[in-house]
Structure 1
Amino acid sequence: MKKFSLFVVVAWCFYHHAAAQADTVQWNVMMGGNKVGFQKQLKNADGTFTEWFQYNDRGRGDSTVSRYRLNDQGYITWIDARGKDYYKKPVFETFRLENGVASWENSAEKEQRKVTGNVSYVPLKINSGTSYAAFFTATDHTLTLLPSGRQKLTVLKDHVLGDGKKVTLVSLSGTGLTPQYVWLDERHQFFAIPSDWFSVMPKGYENTSDELRAIQDTYRENFYKELEGKLANRITTGIAVVHATLFDPKTGSTQPNSTLLIENGMITRVGAGKSISVPTGFHVVDAQNKFVMPGLWDMHVHYGEGTDGLLEIGTGVTNVRDMGNGESLLEKKKQIDEDLVPGPRIQAMCGFIDGAGPYAGPTGAKINSAEEGVAAVKKYKSLGYTQVKLYSSLKPEWVKPIAAEAHKNGMRVSGHIPAHMLASEAIDAGYDEIQHMNMFFLNFLGKDLDTRTPVRFHAVAQNAATLNFNSAEVKAFIKKMADKKIVLDPTISFFETMFVLGPGKPQPTIAAVIDRLPLDMQRQLSSSGALDIPAGQEATYAKSFQNMLRMVKVLHDNGVTIVPGTDDIPGFVLHTELENYARAGISNAAVLKIATLQSATVAGKDKLFGSLEAGKTSDIIIIDGNPLTTMSDIRKVETVIKGQKIYKTKDVLEAISIR
C-alpha cells in the first residue's frame, strides 16, 4: 500500500511541476524501475496549459486532466481539473484569482479569500501548479501558499549529465515534515524526482535516475545525520531508570518503584524498591509516576527515509519489520545500526516476490516462473533477509516450490494471497503468515475474483458485513490457522479509512493527532482517502469494517497470533492500530504484549527484545500515563531509550514541525 509516502509526500513536490514551454513535454512515472504511467504538459494556442497525469499501481492510481493559466511571473491564476484519485474516486479542482480575490473548490473545500501580492495555490487532489521559475523571482526564493503556509526553495548543487544537459538539485522546505528534493533544468523548470520506489523522470532520461538519486541521497542523509547529532543524548556512562512503574508483558502486570540499570546498551539489573542501588556516575532518568515498558514494534512498514525514522522514534516505535522495499533499504538499515541517523531498528526485512505483469508490485523480484522465484529467495537470503513476501500476481502453483526454498533457507513466508487462490490453500502451500485482514475474508468469497485489482477491497467491503462467524467454514479456517500457528498481520486501521471515511473528515488513523500536524498535512489528511463507495452501500461498507474489527478479537481468542502493522503513516497509526485492538475487546495488557514481546517472538528477536529483563537490549519507552488502564495513553510517550541513546519525543517531533 505505502499510501502515505506515495500520495502525500510525493504530492507536495508535484504541485510545482508545470512547465511554461510551447511544446508537449512528457515524463514517465516509474515504480521499482518499471514504467507505470506518465505526465504530459502542453501549451495551448490561447496561452493556457493542459496537463495529463496517470499511473497504474496494481489497479489503483491517479488519472487526471487539468487546464490552467499562469501569469507572467509563473503564478497560477486559473485552473479547471477533473479525474480519478488513487482509489478511482471522482475528483475535481477549480481555482480562480481575479481582482485580488482567490476562490477555489474541490471535493472537500469551497472557499473565497482576498489576497495581496503573488500567491501560489496548492491543489488538493490534482497534480498542477506554478512554475518553479516563480521561486527565483520571489524574495528569498520563498512563495506564499494558498490555502496556507510558505515554501522556500534552496539551490543545493548543479550537475551535468552525460549528454551535456545541465540540471540543478533544489530542496523545498516549509511544507511537509522534512525537505523534499527536486531536480530542475537550466530554465528552472521541473526535471525529475528520482527514487527507488516512485520516480518521475523525463522521457529519454530514465537511465539517469540512479545517478541523480545518489547525489540527492547525500544531501538527504546529511540532513538526518545532523538531526541525530542534535536529538540523541549519547550517554557514555551507565544509565539508571529509577522509580519506574515497570510493565511486564509476560504477566501483564506492573511493578511500582522499579529500577533498571543499563550498561553498554544492555539491561544489567532490574529490581523493585531499594533492592538495587544506583552506582556512582550513572546517568539517572527519574520515571516517578511514569509507565515504563519495552519499545513498540510495527510489523508492517515500507521504510522510506529518515522522516519515517523520526516519526517512529518520536512515537515510541523502536523496532520495525520492513515488508518490501528496494535494495537501498540495506544502506538505510546500516546507517541506523551504526547510529548515524535516527530510526528504529529494522529487525526483519522481507524480500518481495510477485509475478511479472501489469499488476505486479512496485518493487522487488518480478518473476515469470517458479524457478525464478526460487532464485529470488536465494538472493534475498544472501542479502540477509529473513522472510519473503509473496504477492497477488503469482501463479498459485508457484507458491509451494518458492515456500519450500524459503523454509529450506530458514526464512518465513507471508504475503497477500495470490489471485485465484484461497488463503487456506496458501497455508497448505507453505504460508506462515497472512498480511491484511481483507485477505482473511477473501478466503470465503471463492477463487473467481481477480484480487490483483482493487476488487480485493471492494469485494470484502460488500460482503464482510454478512459473514457468518459461527459457520462451520469460518470456524474450521480459524482452527486451521491456530493449529498451524499461522500469524495474521491485520493492518485493521487502514480499512476503517478505506471503508468508512466521509468527505472533509480527518482520516480515522490520524484523527487523534491531526491538529498537531503542519497545516498542509492537515488539509491533505482531512480529504477523503476512502474507496468510491457506491450510493446506498455506505452502511454495508461501515458494517464490513466492524466485522473485520470484530474478527481481530475472535482470532485472538481462538489462539491465532496477531502482530500489529500499519502500512501507513509511521508511528501515529501504530497507536491507532493498538487502540483498535482494545476497541475490538482485547485486554489492554494483551494488546501491549502483542506490540512488544509477541512481535519480538514472531521476528525471532525475543532473546534480546520484547521485555525489560537483565541480559536484554536497552529498548525502553517512558509514558506519562498508563496504557494498561487507558489505551490512548500509548500516545503519551515522553522518553525513548535505545541502547545508550536517550531521545525526548517532544524534541524529535518538533524537529519535523509536529507539535
Structure 2
Amino acid sequence: MRNLLATTALAALLLATGAAAQTPVSELAKPPADAKRFTIMSPAGRHGEIQYWTAPDGAVMSRMSLLLRGQAWEEDETVRLGADGAIAEYELRGSSPQGDVAETFRVADGLAVWKSQIDGGSAKYTRPAFYLPAGFSPIAGNLPIERMIATGQDVDMLPGGRAHAEKLATATVGTGASAQTVTAWSITGLSGTPFAVWTDANGATFATIGGLSFIRAGYEGDQPALEKAQDEALARKSPELARTLVETPSVPVAFYDVRAFVDGKRFAEHQTVVVDKGKIVAVGPIDKVKFPKASRIVDGKGMTLTPGLWDAHMHVGDDYTGPSELSLGVTSVRDPGNNDALTQARRARRAAGELLSPHVYASSLIDGKGPNTAQIANVAATREEAIQLVDAAKAKGQVGVKFYGTMDPAWIAPAAAEAHKLGLHVHGHVPAGMRPAQAIAAGYDEVTHIYFVAMQAMPDDVVNHSNGIQRFQGVGRYAKDMDLNAEPMKSLIADMAKRGTAVDPTLVVAESLFVPENGDLSPSYAPYVGTLPPTVERGFRQGGFAPADGTTRADFRASFKKLVELVGVMHKAGVPIVAGTDGSGLELVRELELYVEAGFTPAEALAAATSVPARLVGADKHTGTIAVGMDADLVLVDGDPSKTIGDLRHTRLVMMDGKLMEADKLRAAVGVQGRPAFEAAE
C-alpha cells in the first residue's frame, strides 16, 4: 500500500516487451462482488478505494481509484506468485498524474527482469526476493511485509535492499461481532526511515495510517486511534536518538579559521566564532578573537560556518524528520500544516528532551469542504467556523494559520483579521476564484508556492479551478507567456514589495512537476544517489505531470523557466523570499541553486534560508544570523558556498542550542549511507 520512490539477451527481450501504453479506465480489471475493500481516506474525508481479489487462474489482483485534490490515479495490478512464495510475474496498468502507468516484472531461468515507466533492469535470481514496483502498488507493497510477519525473518527486495519488520503495538478495532485485535509493525529497509503497517490476527494487511490512510472498509472510524497508537509507539524510540546523537560541550567551542556567513548578508574569510552556553560570544578575524585555553577548538580551515538553515516549508512526517533535517544543517523548520495533535505532542516531547528535532514553527492548515479539501486540514463549513479554527490554532500554540484552496474567498478577510488580532502569521494557497492580489488585500502576509503568485496572470477558467489540478496544468500551459514587466504582474510585484508580502516559492516542487520526463534524474536528488535504499532512489527518476492536451513538455519547461525568472524579479523588487522544500528536505540546497539561477548572489540565496525566514516569524532577535548574542544554531560545511551554493550539502558539524551533532551520525540514523557527492552525475 505504500508508494515508494523506490544484461543478457533474455533481459533485453523482456525489457523490450514490457507494458508501455496507458490502459483506459474502461479496460481495467472489474472487481467481483466479493472483492475485499479498503478505503483511502484522510481527516478531510474519503479519497478513493482499493479492491482485492483472487482471479480464477490464481492471480492476485487489485483495482485502485484515487482522487486527491484533483489528481487522479486509476490502476489495476496482477500478481502471480512463484513456488518460493515471492512474486514471479507482475503487471501494473492504468494512469496517474504523471501519465502512463505501465510496469512489468518477471522471473524466468534464474533471472529477474523489470520494466517500469521510469526504469528497467535485471538481476540474477537465486533465492526468494520481492519486487517492489516504482508505481503505486497495493499488493506488491503488502506481500513482503506479510511474508516477514509470517516467517519472522527479513526479506530481500528487488531492485535491491533488505526489509525488516519489528512489532510496535496492538489495538482493538471495531465493535461487537466486527471487533478484532490488530498489530502495528515498524518496517525498515524500504524507505530509509521506519514506517508503520497494521495487520490482522492472520498477518494480513489491515491498514497503513498517515496523512493519507489505507484502511479496511468498515473500520474508517478507527483511523484516529490507530494513528495515535502508532505515533506513540514509534515515539518510544526517539529519546535514545536524542541522547546518543547529541553532545553538550562542557567548555566553550571555538570554530577557528572558518569562512563565516556573518550579519545575515556577507561571507567573511579567516574568522573565529566562539560559542559558550548556547550563545555566540565572539565573532571576528582569527588574529583578533581570543578564546579560553580550555576551549574545544574546531579547525575550520577550508570550511564554511553558516547559521543553521531553515526549511520554510516542511510538513513534519514523523520523529525521524528531526534527525534527517538536522543532518542537512537545518535547525529551524516551518511546518505549514499537519495533524495538529501530533504537532503538539512532538512539541511537548522536544521540550522535555525526548525528541531530537529542529525548532518547529507550526501553522494550522484551514480549508473549506469540497472534493479538493487538503487531507490534513482543519475543515470549516462556515465563516464562523473558519474564525473559530483560527482561535483554535492560537490555543494550540501555533505561530500561524495557512489557508487553503477550498476556502470560501469571502471568509479570508475576517479569518485573517482574527489571526492578526491574535498575533498569528497568515499564509497559504490562494483559494479558487481569487487571485493573489485579492488574497493579499484580504490579509495574506505570505503567498505559498510560486504557481499561486503566477495565478495573477492566469485566465479565469484556471483561477476558478486552481484548488485542483489546474494550479499545475493551467500554470504549465500559460506561465511561459507572462510578461513580468507588464500588467497584471507588474502591479502585483510592486504591491508585494511595498507591503513586505513574502513568498515561499518551492521552486523545487514546480521543477519536479514541470521539467522531467519519466526516467530523468532529478537534480534535487542526484548528489544523493548511492546513499539511500534502491527502492527510494528509484523515485529520483519520477517524471513530472503529463502535459494536458494541447500542451507539451517543452511548454511546461518554458513555464518553469518563467517561474524561476519571476522569483528573481520579485527578489530584485524587494519581495522577501524564503526557501522551503515541501518535500523530504533533501531538496533545500537545490532550491537555493535555483535562486542563484534566478539572479540571487550566493549570499542572497543563503539569506533566504537563514535570516529572512527568521525575520518572517519574528525569531530574528535570537537566531538566523552569526552575531554576538545570538543562539548557537550553526552548521559547518565542507566547501565554499560563497562561490558554489551547492557546497551547503556537505554538512560536517551541526550545532543547535549550543549542542553539537556530527552530520555523518545523523545521516546514518535516518538510513543515509554516506555523504552526498560534490558533483552530481547522470
Q: Same fold by TM-score, threshold 0.5 exceeded? A: yes
Matching residue within 571, 580, 602 for 1:556 = 571
8 Å CA contact 1:504–1:528 kept in 2: the answer is yes
User: 1:464 aligned to 2:483?
Assistant: no
Deviation at 1:96, TM superposition (A): 2.5
Which residue is equivalent to 2:128? 118
Structure 1 match to 2:65: 54
**Which whole-Å CA distance do the structure 2 matches of 1:238 and 1:436 have between them?**
41
Taking a change above 3 Å as real, the CA distance of residues 231 and 88 of structure 1, as seen in their structure-2 partners, is same
CA distance in 2, matches of 1:406, 1:607: 22
> What SS is found at the alignment partner of 2:468?
coil
Aligned equivalents of 1:73 and 1:445: distance in 2?
Answer: 56
* Paired position in structure 2 for 1:147: 159
Q: Distance in 1 between matches of 2:321 and 2:233?
A: 17
Instruction: State the Cα distance separating 1:643 from its structure 2 match.
Output: 1.4
Amino acid at match of 1:445: M
Tell me, yes or no, if the aligned pair for 2:117 and 2:518 is still in contact at 8 Å. Answer: yes
Distance in structure 1 (CA, Å) of the matches to 2:174 and 2:479: 55
- State the Cα distance separating 1:333 from its structure 2 match: 2.4
Stretch of structure 1 that moved more, 509-518 or 554-563: 509-518
Q: 1:296–1:316: 8 Å Cα contact kept in structure 2?
A: yes
The equivalent of 1:540 in structure 2 is 555
Q: Who is 2:592 aligned against?
A: 578
- Matches of residues 312-327 of structure 1 in structure 2 within 5 Å? 312-327=325-340
Residue 357 (1) aligns with residue 370 (2): yes
- Any conservation in 1 of the 2:146–2:205 contact (CA below 8 Å)? no
| Residue 71 of structure 1: how far off its partner (Å) | 4.1
CA deviations 1:9-40 (Å, max 9, x no partner) are 79xxxxxxxxxx99521111121262212121
2:521 is paired with a residue whose SS is: coil
Task: Say which SS state the counterpart of residue 380 (structure 1) adopts.
Answer: helix
Q: Is the 8 A contact 1:92 1:126 kept in 2?
A: no
How far apart, in 1, do the equivalents of 2:657 and 2:59 lie?
57
Q: Is the 8 A contact 2:508 2:581 kept in 1?
A: yes
Moved more, 42-51 or 482-491: 42-51
Distance 1:7 1:45 in 2: 28
Q: What's the offset of the Cα at 1:6? A: 8.4
Residue 191 of structure 1 aligns with which residue? Answer: 206
2:119 match: 109
Is the aligned partner of 1:266 residue 2:279?
A: yes
Instruction: Select 2:4's aligned residue among 2, 8, 11.
Output: 8
Q: 1:357 to 1:378 in 2, by over 3 A?
A: same
Aligned residues: 639
CA distance 1:396–1:34, change in 2 (3 Å): same
What percentage of residue pairs aligned between the two structures are identical? Answer: 28
For 1:613 and 1:552, the matched residues in 2 are separated by: 28
> 5 Å matches for 1:19-168?
23-32=34-43, 34-71=45-82, 74-85=85-96, 87=97, 89-127=99-137, 128-129=139-140, 130=143, 132-136=145-149, 141-161=153-173, 163=175, 164-168=179-183
Q: Is this contact kept in 2: 1:93–1:126, CA < 8 A?
A: no
* Aligned equivalents of 2:389, 2:543: Cα separation in 1: 38
Q: 1:408 to 1:447 in 2, by over 3 A?
A: farther
Once residues 365 and 213 of structure 1 are traced to their aligned partners in structure 2, the CA distance between those partners, rounded to angstroms, is: 17
Mean Cα displacement is larger for which, 284-293 or 588-597?
284-293
Is 1:417 aligned to residue 433 of structure 2?
no
Bigger mean CA deviation after superposition, 102-111 or 171-180 = 102-111
- Residue 486 in 1 paired to residue 501 in 2? yes
The alpha-carbon deviation at position 160 of structure 1 amounts to: 4.3
Distance 1:418 1:251 in 2: 35
Find 2:248's aligned residue among 234, 251, 256: 234
SS in structure 2 at match of 1:551 = helix
Deviates more, 1:165-174 or 1:294-303: 165-174
Distance 1:198 1:307 in 2: 18
Which is further off, 548-557 or 59-68?
59-68
Aligned counterparts of 1:243 and 1:72: Cα–Cα separation in 2: 63
What displacement does 1:567 show? 0.5
Change (3 A) 1:527 1:425: closer
- Aligned with 1:618: secondary structure? coil
Q: How does 1:383-398 map to 2 (within 5 A)?
A: 383-398=396-411
In structure 2, what is the Cα distance between the partners aligned to 1:371 and 1:22?
A: 44
Deviates most, 367-376 or 276-285: 276-285
Structure 1 residues 259 and 415: CA distance shift in structure 2, 3 A: closer
In structure 2, how many angstroms separate the alpha carbons of the residues matched to 1:417 and 1:400? 13
For residue 669 of structure 2, what is the aligned residue in structure 1? 655
Superposition TM-score, scaled by structure 1 size: 0.92
Contact 1:61 1:88 in 2 (8 A): no
Could you say which residue in structure 1 is the equivalent of 2:584? 569
1:453 corresponds to which of 464, 468, 472? 468
1:304 to 313, 317, 330: 317
> Which one of 622, 625, 634 corresponds to residue 639 of structure 2?
625
What secondary structure, in the 3-state scheme, does the structure 2 residue paired with 1:414 have?
strand
**Rounded Cα–Cα distance in structure 1 between residues aligned with 2:559 and 2:276:** 47
Answering whether residue 532 of structure 2 is matched by residue 521 of structure 1, we say no
Residue range with higher mean Cα deviation, 359-368 or 64-73: 64-73
Residue 458 of structure 1: how far off its partner (Å): 1.0
* Alpha-carbon distance, 1:621 to partner: 0.8
Q: CA deviation at 1:99?
A: 4.2
- For 2:131 and 2:42, locate their aligned partners in 1 and report how far apart those are by CA, in whole Å: 28
Conservation of the 8 A alpha-carbon contact between 1:489 and 1:565: yes
Relative to 1, partners in 2 of residues 1:561 and 1:158: Cα closer, same or farther, differing over 3 Å?
Answer: closer
Deviation digits for residues 183-239 of structure 1 (CA, Å, limit 9, x no counterpart): 1111111111223x2211111222222333333223312333222322211223433
**Shift of residue 115, structure 1, vs aligned partner:** 1.2
- Conserved in 1, the CA contact under 8 Å of 2:174 and 2:219? no
Q: What amino acid sits opposite 2:107 in the alignment?
A: L
1:248 to 262, 265, 274: 262
Shift of 1:618: 0.9
Distance 2:543 2:567 in 1: 25
Q: Please state whether the residue corresponding to 1:300 is helix, strand or coil.
A: coil
Q: Secondary structure at the match of 1:186?
A: coil
CA distance in 1, matches of 2:84, 2:2: 30
Give secondary structure in 2 for the equivalent of 1:516.
coil
Alpha-carbon shift at residue 504 of structure 1 (Å) = 1.0
**SS in structure 2 opposite 1:8?**
coil
For 2:167, the aligned partner's letter is: V
SS of the aligned residue for 1:505 comes to coil
1:116 CA displacement? 1.7
**In 2, distance between residues paired with 1:236 and 1:337?**
21
Pick which of 427-436 and 502-511 moved more: 502-511
Unaligned runs of 5+ in 2: 7-31, 675-682
How far 1:131 sits from its partner (Å)?
6.1
Q: 1:274 to 1:338 in 2, by over 3 A?
A: farther
C-alpha distance in 1, partners of 2:157/2:70? Answer: 33
Task: Give the whole-Å Cα distance in 1 for the aligned partners of 2:168 and 2:363.
Answer: 35
1:592 matched to which residue of 2?
606
2:307 aligns to what?
294
Please give the alpha-carbon distance, in whole angstroms, between the structure 2 residues aligned to 1:282 and 1:432: 44
In structure 2, the residue matched to 1:176 is 191
* CA displacement at 1:64 relative to structure 2: 1.1
Give the deviation of 1:642 after TM superposition: 0.7
In structure 1, what is the Cα distance between the partners aligned to 2:86 and 2:264?
60
CA distance in 1, matches of 2:545, 2:215: 29
- Whichever residue aligns with residue 119 of structure 1, its letter is A
Question: Is residue 282–residue 628 contact of structure 2 (8 Å, CA) maintained in 1?
Answer: yes
TM-score normalized by the length of structure 2: 0.89
Residue 368 of structure 1 pairs with residue 381 of structure 2 = yes
Alpha-carbon distance between aligned partners in 2 of 1:179 and 1:490, rounded to the nearest angstrom: 30
What letter corresponds to residue 398 of structure 1 in structure 2? Answer: W
Q: Kindly indicate whether the alpha-carbon contact (under 8 Å) linking 1:66 and 1:126 is maintained by their aligned counterparts in 2.
A: no
Partner residue, 1:17:
none
| Residue of structure 2 equivalent to 1:13 | none
